[in-house]
């Protein structure tokens, strides 16, 4: 009895051991790329999930085309749930234990700012596909080598587009600003005021709301009083939805502009499909912007039917493509050499947002800038590129920042 | 003029919620001289349970609710479910977090009720996650115009329900034998027990009522604010301020306090955003200096 039991057990153990050894051997040949972003915690989680799908699809495409330096890419996914301590822990684990060659992430600016020093010290290149805080790529700009790159929207650049459009859209040149009372909204109000001043304009009115406010009718009454016919909003999607609902209450609908944070199903669900069409916002790409975008959106949606924030999928996809091109050019996965390749320029790389020729330089670690951005809005429950007579007349000279 | 009317309407809608939750504070204070500092989390539980109950009835699974999922009958049913659930939760909290400490004379119940609230919040995070859930109003989303100012039907419902609840409660407390018994229990539990009043039942009843009110407030407010694990604290803080302002021991005071704070918040917003909360808390300080028991509260004398 006993021997008949034992033998298969041993055999199974041996087989398992052999299999482990085999995967280890295979793993040694792979290039690991980390992905660390909020995919479940905060209101930005949708951006993180979409980005993860873009990240995974890019890796699949690269591997299908033969991989990088004769090796396959392997994605190592971590969810930081939007909490900075968790994000820091993920970062250390990815770099020290998983020995990733580079990291794509995160979604939340606060988390990026919490761990920037880790990849910077350990010389691991990071490409940020979502978080927008201006400081992220600038903190180490004066170091001998800056390991933090970004292919995403940047706060100040979005503001440049919004103001340029607002000035052409406003008939009486009265543009009001409203923002939430957090650091995000206050920085936005400051940026907007400064960029308006570059155009020689003063804001017609400025108002604030708390992130959890549900009634902004008093603020809107003041803005209407100022005579403003255009309003730029710097808040997160759920508060912006409440602002739209308050507009309906006081029956005052100025031309309303906002940041890309409005690409969240929260806006759609709280404000309803009709009201949510009223706000026009900045984005780098919409699903209907190009055939390449439409094709990627279709592939992401097959895995993630709820997709509302295609833009972050496209940006994460491009981040992997650019990273792979830099590794090929450097001929190695060594962090310092890859970062140098990113700094000095990569061979032309076809992305989804755009084609990258020299996306970064030593001084500028932003791949996208205001001229790569466009306007979009919700239409029938989908983020749709927005064009009118004004958007067609916008030229680079209109963008001041 | 329209702006002022708008601020008044918006203020009453905000104040109605503060008033309902403030009443919950008042009820346990009058009967047991304790407060449930987890009141905000009870409100949150009410809102989330309602969302889940409606999703269950509508067969939605994990998908967000849409307006056609929330009929008036289903919404009323959800309210009943929430009242039952919150009543049970109130009993549970009383037995685990209040009764062990209430006679020890110390302040332990403050910590234990806050702790119970944190427990609720973290359980909610485990069950529903940290995101916001939408609960469409059963009365539709269209705006009703009153003299040029706009208000949504759900907001009118909040104002009406808080008005009715406070009138009913006020009547029971002042005009019925039950009310007399409640006041007796509050004044002197031992003497009340000697008079044949079931003190224990009244005390449990107070916690049941207080928790149910918080749950009711949650179901009523969710169509306006959306529901999430973090929705409670902000509302509870303002409701507590409303109770202090109006008088913690007076139901009428609580509702007046709620409406005053709501209108102040909306009214000052017409002028300066920064002053909204400053003016609220300034008013509370001034009132407490002039009338320590609140606008409607009766001064208490403690015999030593």
In angstroms, the separation between the Cα of residue B128 and the nearest Cα of chain A is 11
- The pLDDT-based confidence of A5 (bands split at 50, 70, 90) is very low
Q: How far apart are the first and last CA of chain B?
A: 54
Q: State the smallest CA–CA distance between residue B194 and chain A in angstroms.
A: 49
Distance of residue A386 Cα from the nearest chain B Cα, in angstroms: 26
Query: Does the pLDDT at position A362 exceed 70?
Result: yes
Q: How are beta strands A374-379 and A279-283 bridged, if at all?
A: antiparallel
Mean pLDDT of B163-169: 89
Q: Residue A21: pLDDT above 70?
A: no
What is the distance between the alpha carbons of residues A225 and A350, in angstroms, rounded to a whole number? 49
Q: Is the CB of A249 less than 8 angstroms away from the CB of B150?
A: yes
Q: What are the tens digits of pLDDT across the range B277-304? A: 899 889 999 998 998 888 887 765 555 5
Residue A4 binned pLDDT confidence (cut-offs 50, 70, 90): very low
Supply the ipTM of this predicted assembly: 0.89
- The H or E element spanning position B146 is strand B143-146
In Å, how far is A131's CA from the nearest CA of chain B? 19
Pick from A69-73, B250-254, B272-276 the range whose average pLDDT is largest.
A69-73
- Of B134, B226, B273, nearest to A219 by CB-CB distance is B273
Rounded mean pLDDT, B209-220: 94
Q: Is the dihedral of CA B184, B186, B188, B189 positive or negative?
A: positive
pLDDT band at A19 (very low <50, low <70, confident <90, very high): low
> For position A23, what pLDDT does the model report?
52
Report pLDDT for B59: 82
The answer to whether residue A234 neighbours chain B at the CB level (below 8 Å) is: no
Region B224-238 average pLDDT: 92
Confidence at A3, pLDDT banded by 50, 70, 90: very low
Spatial strand order of the sheet with A102-104 comes to: A73-79, A31-37, A102-104, A126-128, A148-150
User: What distance in Å separates the CA atoms of residue A233 and residue A259, rounded to the nearest whole number?
Assistant: 8
Please determine, for residue A145, whether its predicted confidence score (pLDDT) is greater than 70: yes
Structural domains for chain A: 29-153+289-368 (3.40.50.2300), 161-283+374-398 (3.40.50.2300)
Q: Can you tell me the mean pLDDT for A64-88?
A: 94
Mean pLDDT check: name the lowest of A4-18, A185-199, B34-48.
A4-18
Question: Nearest CB to B266: which of A42, A215, A222?
Answer: A215
Average pLDDT of chain A is: 91
The distance between the two most distant Cα atoms of chain A, rounded to a whole number of Å, is 94
Residues of chain B in Cβ contact (below 8 Å) with chain A: 3, 6-7, 10, 13-14, 64, 129-132, 134, 141, 143, 149-152, 224-226, 231, 234, 266-271, 273-274
Tell me the C-alpha distance between A63 and A74, whole Å.
Answer: 9
pLDDT-derived band at B189 (thresholds 50, 70, 90) equals confident
A295 touches chain B (CB under 8 A): no
Residue A43 contacts B where some CB pair is shorter than 8 Å: yes
Q: Could you tell me the pTM of the whole model?
A: 0.86
A363 vs A343: CA distance, rounded Å: 8
Rounded CA separation A156/A234 (Å): 12
Cβ contacts from A onto B, under 8 A:
72
Domain boundary assignment for chain B: 28-231
Mean pLDDT over residues A34-60, rounded? 92
- In angstroms, what CA-CA distances link A190 with A66, A132, B258? 48, 16, 35
**Residue B88: C-alpha distances to residues B17, B76, B95, B228 (Å):** 22, 19, 11, 21
A109 interface with B at CB cutoff 8 Å: no
Q: Do B132 and A45 touch (CB under 8 A)?
A: no
Q: Do A248 and B14 make contact, defined as CB atoms within 8 angstroms?
A: no
From chain B, pick out residues whose CB is under 8 angstroms from the CB of A270. 132, 134, 226
| A271-295: pLDDT as tens digits | 999 999 999 999 999 898 899 999 9
Tell me the C-alpha distance between B235 and B239, whole Å. 6
The length of chain B, given as a count of residues = 304
Predicted pLDDT of residue A1: 41
pLDDT band for A9, please (50, 70, 90 cuts).
low
DSSP 3-state of B122: helix
Q: Is B154 helix (H, G, I), strand (E, B) or coil?
A: helix
């Amino acid at each position: 009895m006993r021997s008949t039991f034992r033998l298969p057990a041993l055999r199974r153990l041996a087989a398992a051991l052999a299999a482990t050894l085999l995967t280890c051997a295979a793993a040694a040949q792979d290039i690991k790329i980390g992905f660390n972003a909020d995919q479940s915690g905060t209101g930005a989680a949708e951006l993180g999930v979409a980005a993860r799908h873009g990240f995974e699809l890019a890796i699949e495409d690269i591997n299908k085309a033969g991989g990088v330096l004769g090796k396959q890419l392997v994605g190592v996914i971590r969810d930081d749930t939007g909490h900075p301590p968790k994000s820091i822990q993920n970062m250390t684990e990815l770099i020290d234990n998983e020995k990733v060659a580079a990291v794509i992430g995160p979604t939340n600016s606060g988390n990026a700012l919490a761990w920037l020093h880790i990849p910077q010290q350990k010389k691991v290149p990071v490409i940020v596909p979502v978080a927008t805080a201006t400081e992220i790529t600038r903190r180490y700009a004066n170091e001998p080598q800056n390991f933090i790159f970004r292919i995403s929207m940047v706060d100040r650049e979005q503001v440049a587009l919004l103001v340029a459009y607002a000035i052409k859209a406003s008939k009486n040149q009265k543009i009001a600003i409203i923002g939430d009372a957090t650091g995000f909204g206050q920085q936005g109000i400051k940026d907007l005021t400064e960029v308006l001043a570059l155009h020689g304009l003063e804001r017609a009115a400025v108002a604030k709301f708390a992130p959890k406010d549900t009634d902004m009718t008093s603020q809107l009454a003041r803005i209407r009083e100022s005579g403003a016919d255009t309003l730029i909003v710097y808040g997160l999607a759920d508060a912006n939805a409440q602002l739209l609902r308050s507009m309906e209450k006081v029956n005052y609908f100025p031309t309303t502009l906002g940041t890309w944070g409005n690409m969240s199903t929260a806006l759609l669900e709280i404000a309803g499909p009709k009201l949510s069409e009223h706000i026009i916002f900045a984005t780098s790409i919409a699903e209907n912007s190009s055939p390449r975008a439409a094709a990627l959106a279709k592939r992401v949606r097959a895995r993630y039917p709820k997709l509302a924030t295609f833009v972050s999928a496209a940006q994460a996809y491009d981040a992997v493509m650019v990273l792979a091109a830099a590794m090929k050019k450097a001929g190695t996965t060594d962090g310092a050499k890859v970062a140098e390749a990113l700094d000095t320029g990569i061979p032309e790389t076809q992305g989804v947002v755009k084609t990258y020729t020299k996306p970064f330089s030593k001084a500028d670690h932003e791949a996208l800038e205001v001229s790569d951005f466009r306007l979009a809005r919700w239409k029938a429950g989908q983020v749709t590129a927005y064009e009118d007579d004004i958007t067609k007349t916008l030229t680079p000279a209109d963008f001041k920042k | 003029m329209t702006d002022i009317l708008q601020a008044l309407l918006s203020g009453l809608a905000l104040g109605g919620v503060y008033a309902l939750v403030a009443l919950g504070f008042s009820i346990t204070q009058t009967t047991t001289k304790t407060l449930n500092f987890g009141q905000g989390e009870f409100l949150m539980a009410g809102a989330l349970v309602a969302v889940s109950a409606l999703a269950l009835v509508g067969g939605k699974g994990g998908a967000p609710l849409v307006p056609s999922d929330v009929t008036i009958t289903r919404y009323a049913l959800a309210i009943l479910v929430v009242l039952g659930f919150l009543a049970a939760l109130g009993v549970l909290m009383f037995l685990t977090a209040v009764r062990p400490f209430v006679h020890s004379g110390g302040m332990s119940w403050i910590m234990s009720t806050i702790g119970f609230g944190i427990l609720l919040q973290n359980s909610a995070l485990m069950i529903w996650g940290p995101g916001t859930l939408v609960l469409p109003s059963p009365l539709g989303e269209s705006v009703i115009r009153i003299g040029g100012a706009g208000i949504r039907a759900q907001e009118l419902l909040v104002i009406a329900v808080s008005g009715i609840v406070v009138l009913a409660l006020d009547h029971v407390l002042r005009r019925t034998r039950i009310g007399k018994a409640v006041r007796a229990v509050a004044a002197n539990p031992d003497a009340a027990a000697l008079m044949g009043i079931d003190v224990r039942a009244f005390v449990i009843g107070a916690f049941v009522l207080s928790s149910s009110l918080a749950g009711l407030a949650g179901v009523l407010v969710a169509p306006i604010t959306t529901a999430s694990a973090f929705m409670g604290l902000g509302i509870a803080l303002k409701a507590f301020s409303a109770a202090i302002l109006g008088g913690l021991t007076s139901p009428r005071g609580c509702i007046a306090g709620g409406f005053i704070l709501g209108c102040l918040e909306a009214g000052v917003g017409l002028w300066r955003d920064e002053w909204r909360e400053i003016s609220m808390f300034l008013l509370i300080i001034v009132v407490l200096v002039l009338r320590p028991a609140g606008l409607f509260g009766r001064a208490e004398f403690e015999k030593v």
